[in-house]
Amino acid sequence: MDRHQTQLQLQQQANAWLEQQKTGLSKNQQHAFLTWLNTNPEHLAAYQQSQQVDQLLTQFSDSDITQLNISTTKRVSPLWAIAACVALFMVSITSYQFWPQNDTSAHYSAQYQSARSEQFDVALPDGSQLSLDAQTHLTLAFDANQRVNNLIQGRALFDVTSDPQRPFIVIADNTKITVLGTRFSVDKKQNSTRISVEHGRVKVQNKQHLIELVQGQQVLFNEQGMAVQNVNPHLVAAWRDGRLIFNNAPLDEVFAEFNRYHDTHFEFTDSTVSNMMLSGTFSATDLDNFLNLLPHVLPVEIKNTNNHIVISKI
């Protein structure tokens, strides 16, 4: 078998998996897909190419696709011939048969890390979606029994596809969040972890506590213990729109949030300033406007020299 035939068969396999995902994968099929995806880097590349081609084909009408069945002896323009070949890769899946789905040892692992001021979304093979905020580090390790995500630092939004046989687990230090299908945010800072539920239900556990959160609830774990609060579920992912929302948050936490998006150094002259509470909604990208506004809200003075910000009490 020559190299061209091998690539053609590989692309057909990728196309077949993509089409099958549209109608839904069984548990065994999902296991087989993850195994296939991780067997060879070329498999992932072929699958990503199939996704790109699929998006391209949405620009064609049904009649355009029908015309792809024209005889190969008919003369066509070079550009249309290329489009036809690309599309035929997709329609060739109708003749492809899935192999037996009896593999239960599928594994999937990945690592994602965002830079300062960078946000991005990730589509996972199980159908779940991730959204990473700036300065976030996350690792994934899926197997046949569970889907484990380790949030090392930062904030991520999880939109989880339900799979009762494989719980979706997020670990942040000694806090473990377990779900079957829901949408929630986890924000891990140096001395605290906050879990907020947009919809669905999650189980949260650490060494001292075991609780369940439902839509519109959040829990904060820090050095003082645990606090459960009600939140507007529509604002759980407000940071994805560049909005920072604070509800009686201490200033050191507020500035730490801005530091996700701005290369600045800030310091407080004493703890009475860093512990001042602030509420409000601010633009994550507009630090200058926030610095100008803050002295009108709290009794503080701000000096900014070459991105070194000193906050003192008046």
pLDDT of residue 77: 45
Same fold, 108-235 and 242-313: no
For the chain, state the CA radius of gyration: 25
Contact 264, 291 (CB under 8 A): no
pLDDT at 309 over 50: yes
Domain ranges of the chain: 108-235, 242-313
Mean per-residue pLDDT for 93-100?
Answer: 35
- pLDDT of residue 11 exceeding 90, the answer is no
Digit-coded pLDDT (tens) for 43-77: 877 777 776 666 555 555 555 555 555 543 444 44
What mean pLDDT value characterizes the chain? 81
Q: What is the second-level CATH architecture of the domain 242-313?
A: 3-Layer(bab) Sandwich (3.55)
For the chain, where are the alpha helices, taking DSSP H only? 3-23, 27-39, 41-57, 62-66, 78-91, 251-258, 271-274, 287-297
SS3 60: coil
Residues 163-176: tens digit of each pLDDT: 988 999 999 989 99
SS3 of 79-107: the string is HHHHHHHHHHHHHHHHHCCCCCCCCCCCC
Cα separation, 273 vs 250, whole angstroms: 9
CATH class assigned to 108-235: mainly beta
pLDDT digits (tens, 9 = 90+) for 175-233: 999 997 899 999 998 889 999 999 999 999 988 899 999 999 999 998 888 999 999 99
Q: Dump pLDDT digits (tens) for 134-163.
A: 999 999 999 989 999 999 999 999 999 999
Q: What pLDDT does residue 98 have? A: 35
